[in-house]
Amino acid sequence: MRRKLVAGNWKMHGNHRSNAELLAGIAASRPFGCDVAVCVPYPYLAETAVALAASDLRWGAQDCSAHEQGAYTGEVSAAMLAEFGCRYVIVGHSERRQFHAESDALVADKAKAALSHGLTPIVCVGETLAQREAGQTEAVVKRQLSAVIHALGHCAGEMVVAYEPVWAIGTGKVATPEQAQAVHALLRAQLKAATPHADQMQILYGGSMKPDNAVSLLSQPDIDGGLIGGASLKAADFVAICRAAG
Ligand code: 13P
Protein backbone atom coordinates (compact mmCIF):
# COMPACT_ATOMS: atom_id res chain seq x y z
CA MET A 1 0.00 0.00 0.00
CA ARG A 2 1.13 3.54 -0.71
CA ARG A 3 1.98 5.64 2.31
CA LYS A 4 -0.17 8.75 2.42
CA LEU A 5 1.09 12.33 2.49
CA VAL A 6 -0.74 15.24 4.08
CA ALA A 7 0.78 18.61 3.16
CA GLY A 8 -0.38 21.96 4.48
CA ASN A 9 -0.29 24.88 2.08
CA TRP A 10 -0.32 27.92 4.32
CA LYS A 11 -0.57 30.27 1.32
CA MET A 12 0.02 33.90 2.41
CA HIS A 13 -0.94 33.42 6.04
CA GLY A 14 0.91 33.49 9.33
CA ASN A 15 3.26 35.48 11.52
CA HIS A 16 6.05 34.56 13.90
CA ARG A 17 3.76 33.95 16.83
CA SER A 18 0.97 32.05 15.10
CA ASN A 19 3.46 29.93 13.15
CA ALA A 20 5.27 28.89 16.33
CA GLU A 21 1.99 27.87 17.94
CA LEU A 22 0.81 25.99 14.88
CA LEU A 23 4.08 24.09 14.41
CA ALA A 24 4.28 23.25 18.12
CA GLY A 25 0.69 21.99 18.03
CA ILE A 26 1.40 19.70 15.07
CA ALA A 27 4.71 18.45 16.46
CA ALA A 28 3.13 17.68 19.84
CA SER A 29 0.57 15.42 18.13
CA ARG A 30 3.14 13.08 16.59
CA PRO A 31 3.57 10.35 15.70
CA PHE A 32 1.43 10.18 12.57
CA GLY A 33 0.89 7.15 10.42
CA CYS A 34 1.49 9.13 7.23
CA ASP A 35 4.02 11.59 5.85
CA VAL A 36 3.26 15.12 7.04
CA ALA A 37 4.59 18.39 5.63
CA VAL A 38 3.95 22.11 5.81
CA CYS A 39 4.57 24.45 2.86
CA VAL A 40 5.17 27.86 4.37
CA PRO A 41 5.82 31.37 3.00
CA TYR A 42 9.50 31.93 2.15
CA PRO A 43 10.37 34.26 5.05
CA TYR A 44 9.31 31.61 7.54
CA LEU A 45 11.37 28.73 6.13
CA ALA A 46 14.29 29.32 8.48
CA GLU A 47 12.22 29.26 11.65
CA THR A 48 10.20 26.30 10.37
CA ALA A 49 13.42 24.38 9.76
CA VAL A 50 14.52 25.10 13.34
CA ALA A 51 11.12 24.22 14.83
CA LEU A 52 10.83 20.90 12.98
CA ALA A 53 14.49 19.86 12.81
CA ALA A 54 14.22 17.29 15.59
CA SER A 55 10.98 15.78 14.24
CA ASP A 56 10.05 13.62 11.28
CA LEU A 57 7.80 16.41 10.00
CA ARG A 58 8.82 17.84 6.63
CA TRP A 59 8.64 21.33 5.21
CA GLY A 60 8.66 23.03 1.88
CA ALA A 61 7.82 26.13 -0.12
CA GLN A 62 4.87 27.13 -2.28
CA ASP A 63 6.73 28.00 -5.48
CA CYS A 64 10.24 28.23 -6.91
CA SER A 65 11.92 29.85 -9.86
CA ALA A 66 12.49 27.93 -13.06
CA HIS A 67 15.91 29.63 -13.31
CA GLU A 68 19.12 28.54 -11.63
CA GLN A 69 20.18 32.06 -10.58
CA GLY A 70 20.48 35.53 -12.03
CA ALA A 71 18.69 38.82 -12.47
CA TYR A 72 15.18 37.67 -11.56
CA THR A 73 14.03 40.14 -8.94
CA GLY A 74 11.72 38.64 -6.37
CA GLU A 75 12.27 35.03 -7.39
CA VAL A 76 13.63 32.27 -5.17
CA SER A 77 15.63 29.40 -6.63
CA ALA A 78 15.29 25.71 -5.89
CA ALA A 79 18.92 25.73 -4.72
CA MET A 80 18.03 28.32 -2.06
CA LEU A 81 15.11 26.23 -0.87
CA ALA A 82 17.38 23.20 -0.62
CA GLU A 83 19.68 25.21 1.67
CA PHE A 84 16.79 25.60 4.08
CA GLY A 85 16.20 21.86 4.23
CA CYS A 86 13.05 21.92 2.14
CA ARG A 87 11.82 18.52 1.08
CA TYR A 88 8.95 19.74 -1.09
CA VAL A 89 7.96 22.65 -3.27
CA ILE A 90 4.48 23.20 -4.66
CA VAL A 91 4.51 24.13 -8.35
CA GLY A 92 1.65 25.07 -10.64
CA HIS A 93 -0.85 25.89 -7.93
CA SER A 94 -3.97 27.27 -9.58
CA GLU A 95 -3.46 30.57 -7.76
CA ARG A 96 -0.07 30.88 -9.53
CA ARG A 97 -1.57 29.84 -12.85
CA GLN A 98 -4.44 32.31 -12.42
CA PHE A 99 -2.85 35.37 -10.77
CA HIS A 100 0.65 35.05 -12.23
CA ALA A 101 -0.25 33.65 -15.65
CA GLU A 102 1.94 30.59 -15.22
CA SER A 103 1.85 28.37 -18.30
CA ASP A 104 2.09 24.59 -18.40
CA ALA A 105 5.59 24.97 -19.82
CA LEU A 106 6.73 27.23 -16.98
CA VAL A 107 5.27 24.90 -14.37
CA ALA A 108 7.13 22.01 -16.01
CA ASP A 109 10.40 23.96 -15.91
CA LYS A 110 9.85 24.72 -12.22
CA ALA A 111 9.25 21.05 -11.47
CA LYS A 112 12.48 20.21 -13.28
CA ALA A 113 14.43 22.87 -11.37
CA ALA A 114 13.07 21.49 -8.09
CA LEU A 115 14.07 17.91 -8.86
CA SER A 116 17.52 18.93 -9.98
CA HIS A 117 18.14 20.27 -6.46
CA GLY A 118 16.77 17.24 -4.67
CA LEU A 119 13.36 18.73 -3.88
CA THR A 120 10.15 16.84 -4.56
CA PRO A 121 7.82 18.99 -6.64
CA ILE A 122 4.15 18.79 -5.69
CA VAL A 123 2.66 19.46 -9.12
CA CYS A 124 -0.88 20.85 -9.03
CA VAL A 125 -3.41 20.25 -11.77
CA GLY A 126 -7.12 21.00 -11.86
CA GLU A 127 -9.98 22.36 -13.89
CA THR A 128 -12.10 25.47 -13.37
CA LEU A 129 -15.86 25.25 -12.91
CA ALA A 130 -16.44 26.42 -16.49
CA GLN A 131 -14.10 23.72 -17.79
CA ARG A 132 -15.85 21.03 -15.72
CA GLU A 133 -19.25 22.16 -16.92
CA ALA A 134 -18.01 22.11 -20.51
CA GLY A 135 -16.87 18.50 -20.06
CA GLN A 136 -13.19 19.44 -20.35
CA THR A 137 -11.91 18.14 -17.01
CA GLU A 138 -10.03 15.18 -18.44
CA ALA A 139 -8.47 17.15 -21.28
CA VAL A 140 -7.35 19.97 -18.96
CA VAL A 141 -5.70 17.86 -16.26
CA LYS A 142 -4.07 15.60 -18.86
CA ARG A 143 -2.63 18.58 -20.69
CA GLN A 144 -1.28 20.08 -17.46
CA LEU A 145 0.29 16.81 -16.31
CA SER A 146 1.61 15.91 -19.71
CA ALA A 147 3.79 19.04 -19.85
CA VAL A 148 5.48 18.03 -16.59
CA ILE A 149 5.85 14.37 -17.52
CA HIS A 150 7.51 15.41 -20.76
CA ALA A 151 9.93 17.80 -19.02
CA LEU A 152 10.92 15.36 -16.29
CA GLY A 153 11.44 12.39 -18.60
CA HIS A 154 12.72 9.34 -16.74
CA CYS A 155 12.47 11.25 -13.42
CA ALA A 156 8.68 11.68 -13.73
CA GLY A 157 8.14 9.03 -11.07
CA GLU A 158 9.78 11.30 -8.47
CA MET A 159 7.10 13.99 -8.39
CA VAL A 160 4.01 14.16 -6.22
CA VAL A 161 0.84 15.11 -8.11
CA ALA A 162 -2.00 17.09 -6.53
CA TYR A 163 -5.45 17.20 -8.10
CA GLU A 164 -7.02 20.49 -7.05
CA PRO A 165 -10.28 21.32 -8.80
CA VAL A 166 -10.22 25.12 -8.88
CA TRP A 167 -13.92 25.33 -8.01
CA ALA A 168 -13.29 23.48 -4.74
CA ILE A 169 -10.40 25.64 -3.50
CA GLY A 170 -11.33 27.84 -0.57
CA THR A 171 -15.00 27.62 -1.50
CA GLY A 172 -16.18 24.99 0.96
CA LYS A 173 -17.41 23.09 -2.12
CA VAL A 174 -15.64 19.78 -2.06
CA ALA A 175 -15.43 17.28 -4.89
CA THR A 176 -17.34 14.14 -3.98
CA PRO A 177 -15.09 11.16 -3.28
CA GLU A 178 -16.33 9.63 -6.56
CA GLN A 179 -15.58 12.78 -8.58
CA ALA A 180 -12.10 13.02 -7.09
CA GLN A 181 -11.36 9.30 -7.49
CA ALA A 182 -12.40 9.42 -11.14
CA VAL A 183 -9.84 12.12 -11.89
CA HIS A 184 -7.15 10.48 -9.75
CA ALA A 185 -7.63 7.24 -11.68
CA LEU A 186 -7.17 9.13 -14.96
CA LEU A 187 -3.99 10.74 -13.65
CA ARG A 188 -2.65 7.38 -12.43
CA ALA A 189 -3.30 5.86 -15.85
CA GLN A 190 -1.46 8.73 -17.50
CA LEU A 191 1.47 8.28 -15.12
CA LYS A 192 1.51 4.54 -15.79
CA ALA A 193 2.04 5.18 -19.45
CA ALA A 194 5.04 7.37 -18.58
CA THR A 195 6.85 5.70 -15.70
CA PRO A 196 7.18 2.25 -14.14
CA HIS A 197 6.82 3.91 -10.71
CA ALA A 198 3.23 5.13 -11.13
CA ASP A 199 1.82 2.66 -8.62
CA GLN A 200 4.12 4.01 -5.91
CA MET A 201 3.46 7.68 -6.66
CA GLN A 202 1.39 9.82 -4.31
CA ILE A 203 -1.55 11.64 -5.89
CA LEU A 204 -3.02 14.13 -3.40
CA TYR A 205 -6.46 15.70 -3.41
CA GLY A 206 -6.80 19.40 -2.58
CA GLY A 207 -9.88 21.61 -2.34
CA SER A 208 -11.79 22.20 0.90
CA MET A 209 -10.50 19.03 2.53
CA LYS A 210 -11.54 19.23 6.21
CA PRO A 211 -11.66 16.85 9.17
CA ASP A 212 -15.28 15.95 8.38
CA ASN A 213 -14.73 14.94 4.74
CA ALA A 214 -11.16 13.64 4.92
CA VAL A 215 -11.97 10.01 5.70
CA SER A 216 -14.31 9.55 2.75
CA LEU A 217 -11.87 11.18 0.33
CA LEU A 218 -8.81 9.40 1.68
CA SER A 219 -10.49 6.00 1.52
CA GLN A 220 -10.62 6.14 -2.27
CA PRO A 221 -8.11 3.80 -3.91
CA ASP A 222 -6.18 6.44 -5.84
CA ILE A 223 -6.29 9.27 -3.29
CA ASP A 224 -2.97 9.13 -1.47
CA GLY A 225 -3.26 12.15 0.75
CA GLY A 226 -4.26 15.78 0.81
CA LEU A 227 -2.96 19.24 0.00
CA ILE A 228 -4.69 21.31 2.63
CA GLY A 229 -5.28 25.06 2.53
CA GLY A 230 -7.60 26.61 5.12
CA ALA A 231 -7.67 23.62 7.45
CA SER A 232 -3.86 23.55 7.64
CA LEU A 233 -3.89 26.82 9.60
CA LYS A 234 -5.51 25.30 12.68
CA ALA A 235 -3.45 22.65 14.43
CA ALA A 236 -6.49 20.67 15.58
CA ASP A 237 -7.99 20.49 12.09
CA PHE A 238 -4.71 19.69 10.37
CA VAL A 239 -3.89 17.01 12.92
CA ALA A 240 -7.36 15.49 12.50
CA ILE A 241 -6.77 15.19 8.75
CA CYS A 242 -3.35 13.62 9.35
CA ARG A 243 -5.00 11.11 11.67
CA ALA A 244 -7.62 10.35 9.02
CA ALA A 245 -4.80 9.62 6.57
CA GLY A 246 -2.79 7.42 8.86
P1 13P B 1 -8.49 24.91 0.68
O2 13P B 1 -8.19 23.66 1.50
O3 13P B 1 -8.50 26.16 1.51
O4 13P B 1 -9.67 24.76 -0.19
O5 13P B 1 -7.21 25.11 -0.30
C6 13P B 1 -6.80 24.04 -1.06
C7 13P B 1 -5.53 24.40 -1.70
O8 13P B 1 -5.48 25.27 -2.56
C9 13P B 1 -4.30 23.72 -1.25
O10 13P B 1 -3.23 24.00 -2.09
- What is the arithmetic mean of pLDDT over 14-19? 98
User: Could you identify the atom of ligand 1 that is nearest to the CA of residue 171?
Assistant: 4
Specify whether 93 is catalytic.
yes
Mutate to test the pocket of ligand 1, among 89, 93, 164 (most ligand atoms within 8 A of CB): 164
Count the domains in the chain.
Answer: 1
pLDDT digits (tens, 9 = 90+) for 134-154: 999 999 999 999 999 999 999
Continuous H helices in 92-229: 94-99, 104-116, 129-133, 137-152, 177-192, 211-218
pLDDT digits (tens, 9 = 90+) for 40-59: 999 999 999 999 999 999 99
**Domain that residue 22 falls in:** 5-245
User: Could you identify the atom of ligand 1 that is nearest to the CA of residue 169?
Assistant: 4
Which CATH number belongs to the domain containing residue 131 in this structure?
Answer: 3.20.20.70
Q: Is 126 left (phi over 0), alpha (psi -120 to 50) or beta?
A: left
34, 201, 63, 244 alpha-carbon torsion, rounded to 10°: -30
Structure confidence at residue 160 (pLDDT): 98
- What is the arithmetic mean of pLDDT over 141-169? 97
12 CA distance to ligand 1 middle (Å): 12
Q: Report whether pLDDT(117) > 80.
A: yes
User: Could you identify the atom of ligand 1 that is nearest to the CA of residue 90?
Assistant: 10
Specify whether 178 is catalytic.
no
Nearest CA to ligand 1 atom 7: 229
Structure pTM?
Answer: 0.98
> d(Cα 212, Cα 232) in Å, to the nearest integer?
14
Q: Report whether pLDDT(80) > 80.
A: yes
How many other C-beta atoms lie within 10 A of the C-beta of residue 180? 25
pLDDT digits (tens, 9 = 90+) for 177-198: 999 999 999 999 999 999 999 9
Q: Report whether pLDDT(1) > 90.
A: no
- What is the arithmetic mean of pLDDT over 61-81? 98
218 CA distance to ligand 1 middle (Å): 16
- Average per-residue pLDDT for the chain: 97
